[in-house]
Amino acid sequence: MVRYVIRRLMWLVLVLLGLCAITFILSRIVPSDPAACYLGPRPRPEQVEKVRVQLGFDKPLYIQFAYYLRDLSHGDLGESLRTHRPVLQGIWEHLPASLELMIIGIFIALLVGIPLGVISAKKENTAVDHLSRLFSVANVSMPAFWLAMIFQIVFFRWLGILPIMGRIDTVVSLVSPVKEITGFYTLDTLITGNWAAFKSALSHLVLPSLSLAAYSTGLIARMTRSTMLEVLREDYITTARAIGVSEREILFVQALRNALGPTLTTAGLCFAFMLTGTFFVEIIFSWPGLGTYTTNAIFLNDYPVIMGVTILMAMFYVAVNLLVDLLLAVADPRIRLG
Amino acid sequence: MEIKKNRKVRLNRGREYWRGMNLVLKNPLTTFGLGVIILLIATALLAPYLAPYPDQGRGLSNLKERLVSPCFRHPFGTDNLGRDILSRIIFGARISLKAAIAVVLIVIAIGVPLGLIAGYFGGKIDEIIMRFADMILAFPSLLLAIAIVASMGPNLLNALIAVSIPWWPWYTRLVRSQVVSLKEMQFVESARAIGVSNLRIMFRHILPNCLSPIIVQATLDMGYIILFLSSLGFLGLGTQPPAADWGVMVSDGREFFLEQWWISTFSGAAIFVTVFAFNLLGDGAREALDPKIRWRFQRT
């Protein structure tokens, strides 16, 4: 087990090195001058020259890459060319908003997806099953940004019951400001007992997290259905039925427990995928998270930010994969890691 | 006697083909998906004849009729430059399909030869190619694509490259797994015995035998690729205006959409229906071909 973890971690380092190399090379092929970028509009040539030397852009590419890796190993992702603030700090400030969205999103996906899959498997090839499968495929096929916009039209424009911009109502945040402890507004307001802000933060979360959850819901329902179908055909289920265990217990306890493995793997990957999914949802809902931070950087050609986010996200993605594998091995003694 | 004989002949000729087709079409949802796709292809081919305002579909603006809501003359309304949305969506089908086909071709051109080499030669080459493929699959693919276009500069060509880079390893894996079993078959051994060159064995003898899974996979991937490309387009990293890309249109309509909802709604619906149809078809095909195969984790 320990050896397996070590091997996976070494693999992770290799993967990240590869990713760094790819993004680094790509970001430097483009004919944009990072030094000019650093100085803002209309810099004087001698200024540009000075900054170029100062930031090391005059050195050959492989030396620049070596410098980047050296800084990276100290946890330094460089500083933004535009704001001149450390990239890591920027990411750190924007991360909680995205994470809050993702955590609520994955909960919604699990709460809707698993029961849907179980019922679908139970009623295989009936109208209920067909409908739920149609629902799953539709969820997976929906562009998140489009779903988000439809939600805005229906729940804001037509029904007028839910807000669509930002994390909290401006008036509420002025009257009863959120004291940031964890950066998760719902949690912070709950801890401080700031009910008005809590209600506002929660209502702002509904539509973005639903849009983010749609894709994962479909995938989880789908995966649960297919594993449940397999498990329900096994002998121990027949035995359980024969000795008179109630159908509900068979479905949701006996069978589901054994079908949960692949579902949780899927959920883990979905959670990791949501990091990119938030890009689209955040744009639509003006959500001040990582997605907004990154898309702004993309349009400003702020390559240290683009690279920093890419590397951290890839790290997160690979780490979640590893964690899911390990959790499964711990939960299920039949799995041996080698 | 006569009838029975005929039937047998027909069965022998196309048995496999028909069995597969019947299984696929037994499910009404799959048939529906196939129907929509055929319709879409026809729309793309006949765009200049089907679109009510072909010039506007290509990007000509018509400032006299800006932001007209859906009516008889413009069933899906017009955008902020007065262009008929329906015509734009019809022309968008062309762009989406062309781009998706281009990605599939690039991915096959890279992934298939690498898979052939890895599977056929085995050993060190196999190890290097497959490790590299695994490494690319370890990244979140949409993020990788975004990072690539963001660094190389946004345009359609870069978007096509950016989508292909995270995608080819799937084909390398697919082909390799086929080649590994095929190369042990007698016909390969016979070819080698009479002195056929490795290159010729790989491309003339082995490749034709793994063509059908490649084609099936490519068809199934079309939906995801279209979704992927329109997501890039939405971020402004794919097709550039004035070409009618569905993702770009959704993004263009965003500015007005709480009042002029039709621009984004209908162009997004075009993406949704297309991807939905491909996924329905893919779902049915997968189930018919191999019930054991799990839904391959989709790459977003």
Q: What is the pLDDT of residues B15-60, one digit of tens each?
A: 555 666 666 677 788 888 889 999 999 999 988 888 888 888 777 7
Beta bridge partners of B84: B78
Interface of B with A in 144-163 (CB under 8 A): 144, 146-148, 150-153
In this prediction the ipTM stands at 0.84
Q: Please say whether the beta carbons of B129 and B118 come within 8 A.
A: yes
Tell me, what amino acid is at A51?
A: V
Q: Which of A298, A305, A309 to mutate to test the interface with B (most CBs of B within 10 A)?
A: A298
DSSP A104-169: HHHHHHHHHHHHHHHHHHHTTTSHHHHHHHHHHHHHHHS-HHHHHHHHIIIIIIIS--S--SSSS-
Cβ-Cβ contacts under 8 Å for B151 (sequence gap 6 or more)? A23, A26, A27, A29, A30, A303, A306
Which pLDDT value is given to residue A138? 92
Q: Which two tokens stand for residue B95?
A: 């762009």
pLDDT digits over A265-296, tens only?
888 888 888 888 898 999 899 898 898 888 88
Tell me, what amino acid is at B106?
A: I
**Number of Cβ atoms within 10 Å of the Cβ of A279:** 26
- Residue of higher predicted confidence among B10 and A326: A326
Cβ-Cβ contacts under 8 Å for A120 (sequence gap 6 or more)? A128, A129, A132, A133, A221, A224, A225, A228
Instruction: Look at residue B177 and tell me whether its pLDDT is greater than 80.
Output: yes
Which residue bears the tokens 């410098």? A67
Closest CA to A146 of B33, B71, B248: B248
Instruction: Tell me the chain B residues in contact with residue A157 when contact means C-beta distances shorter than 8 Å.
Output: 258, 261
Closest CA to A26 of B168, B176, B87, B161: B161
Report how far residue A224's alpha carbon sits from residue A219's, in angstroms, rounded to the nearest whole number.
9
Report how far residue B174's alpha carbon sits from residue B294's, in angstroms, rounded to the nearest whole number.
15
**Number of Cβ atoms within 10 Å of the Cβ of A70:** 10
Report how far residue A141's alpha carbon sits from residue A215's, in angstroms, rounded to the nearest whole number.
8
Cβ-Cβ contacts under 8 Å for A190 (sequence gap 6 or more)? A198
Using pLDDT thresholds of 50, 70 and 90, give the confidence band for residue B272. very high
Which pLDDT value is given to residue A105? 94
Q: Which two tokens stand for residue A105?
A: 């999103």
Which pLDDT value is given to residue A116? 94
On the 0-12 / 13-18 / 19+ scale of CB atoms within 10 A, A315 is middle
Using pLDDT thresholds of 50, 70 and 90, give the confidence band for residue B5. very low
**Number of Cβ atoms within 10 Å of the Cβ of A31:** 6
- Residue of higher predicted confidence among A57 and B12: A57
Which pLDDT value is given to residue A119? 92
pLDDT digits over A112-125, tens only?
999 999 999 988 88
**Number of Cβ atoms within 10 Å of the Cβ of B21:** 12
Which pLDDT value is given to residue B225? 92
The distance of B267 to chain A (nearest Cα, Å) reads: 9
Report how far residue B252's alpha carbon sits from residue B239's, in angstroms, rounded to the nearest whole number.
13
Which pLDDT value is given to residue A23? 73
Report how far residue B14's alpha carbon sits from residue B91's, in angstroms, rounded to the nearest whole number.
37
CA contacts within 13 A on the Cβ side of B121 = 17
The distance of B297 to chain A (nearest Cα, Å) reads: 8
Which residue bears the tokens 């569905």? B246
Residue A310 has its nearest CB partner, among B135, B143, B250, at: B143
Which pLDDT value is given to residue B11? 44
3-state helix, strand, coil in chain B (%, to 5): 75, 0, 25
**Could you tell me how many helices (H) and strands (E) chain A has, helices first?**
15, 0
Which pLDDT value is given to residue B292? 43
Q: Which two tokens stand for residue B155?
A: 């345009």
Which pLDDT value is given to residue B6? 47
pLDDT digits over B221-268, tens only?
888 899 999 999 998 888 887 778 899 999 888 888 888 888 889 999
Closest CA to B143 of B173, B172, B163: B163
Closest CA to A294 of A26, A95, A27, A154: A95
Q: Please say whether the beta carbons of B123 and B183 come within 8 A.
A: no
Using pLDDT thresholds of 50, 70 and 90, give the confidence band for residue B14. low
Put simply, whether B105 touches A (Cβ < 8 Å) is no
Q: Please say whether the beta carbons of A317 and A272 come within 8 A.
A: yes
Contact check, Cβ <8 Å, B151/A19: no
Which residue bears the tokens 């091997």? A7
Task: Report, as ranges of residue numbers, the positions in chain A whose pLDDT lies below 50.
Answer: none
Contact check, Cβ <8 Å, B283/A137: yes
On the 0-12 / 13-18 / 19+ scale of CB atoms within 10 A, A316 is middle
Report how far residue A2's alpha carbon sits from residue A8's, in angstroms, rounded to the nearest whole number.
10
Can you state the angle between helices A61-73 and A2-29, rounded to 10 degrees? 140
Q: Please say whether the beta carbons of B263 and B77 come within 8 A.
A: yes
Name all contacts of B61-70 with Cβ < 8 Å and 24+ positions apart: B67/B256, B67/B260, B69/B260, B69/B262, B70/B262
Interface of B with A in 251-290 (CB under 8 A): 251, 254, 257-258, 261, 264-265, 268-269, 271-272, 275-276, 278-280, 283
Shortest CA distance from A318: residue in chain B = B138
Report how far residue A11's alpha carbon sits from residue A186's, in angstroms, rounded to the nearest whole number.
37
Q: Which of A25, A145, A322 to mutate to test the interface with B (most CBs of B within 10 A)?
A: A145
Q: Please say whether the beta carbons of B142 and A276 come within 8 A.
A: yes
Closest CA to B227 of B299, B284, B161: B299
Put simply, whether B240 touches A (Cβ < 8 Å) is no
Of the ranges A56-65, A196-205, B79-88, B100-109, the best mean pLDDT one: B100-109
Closest CA to B179 of B200, B203, B210: B210
The distance of B104 to chain A (nearest Cα, Å) reads: 19
Q: Please say whether the beta carbons of A315 and A327 come within 8 A.
A: no
Contact check, Cβ <8 Å, A14/B275: no
Put simply, whether B78 touches A (Cβ < 8 Å) is no
The distance of B74 to chain A (nearest Cα, Å) reads: 21
- Kind and range of the H or E element at A31? none
Contact check, Cβ <8 Å, B268/A138: no
Which pLDDT value is given to residue A303? 79
Residue B234 has its nearest CB partner, among A19, A145, A152, at: A145
User: How is residue B155 annotated by DSSP?
Assistant: S
Residue A26 has its nearest CB partner, among B148, B271, B279, at: B148
Contact check, Cβ <8 Å, A306/B231: no
Put simply, whether A232 touches B (Cβ < 8 Å) is no
Tell me, what amino acid is at A133?
A: R
The CA-atom distances, in angstroms, between B183 and each of A281, B123, B200, B205 are 48, 14, 13, 9
On the 0-12 / 13-18 / 19+ scale of CB atoms within 10 A, B54 is middle
